[in-house]
Amino acid sequence: MTESLAPVNDVTMTDRAAKRIARILSKEPEGTVLRISVSGGGCSGFQYEYNLVQEEAGADDLVLTKDSAKVLIDSLSLEFMGGAQIDFADDLIGQAFQIKNPNAVASCGCGTSFAI
């Protein structure tokens, strides 16, 4: 029996992440959004990429909005991120976006690389 990944459209964003994204976007030109994607690489096999882009959502993008925060995730990346939660941590070690991904079986210390 093979395991299946979590439902692809079930990605959420915490209030902390939304506030930080909105703050970042407020300093960018009108129409800028945060695009989160998954690519091969990193020390665990896959890695998250965060890019500020000026583009409209594509037909296959998941669009997450909360207050003034807008995030786009493409359909290929969604295959790896189903059920994930986008969060923002601000602690003694530093500030960073964190993706809590139930599909990841391992991740590295940097927090941007994971294995499925």
Give residue limits of the domains in the chain: 12-115
| Predicted confidence (pLDDT) per residue in 44-87, tens digit | 677 889 999 999 999 999 999 998 999 999 999 998 888 999 99
pLDDT of residue 103: 77
DSSP category for residue 1: -
Sequence-distant (6+) residues with CB within 8 A of 76 are 37, 38
pLDDT at 110 over 90: no
Spatial distance between the Cα atoms of 26 and 44, rounded to a whole number of angstroms: 33
Topology (CATH level 3) of domain 12-115: Hypothetical Protein Aq_1857; Chain: A; (2.60.300)
pLDDT at 8 over 70: no
**pTM attached to this predicted model:** 0.81
Helix (H, G, I), strand (E, B) or coil at 108: coil
Helix (H, G, I), strand (E, B) or coil at 28: coil
Sequence-distant (6+) residues with CB within 8 A of 65 are 71
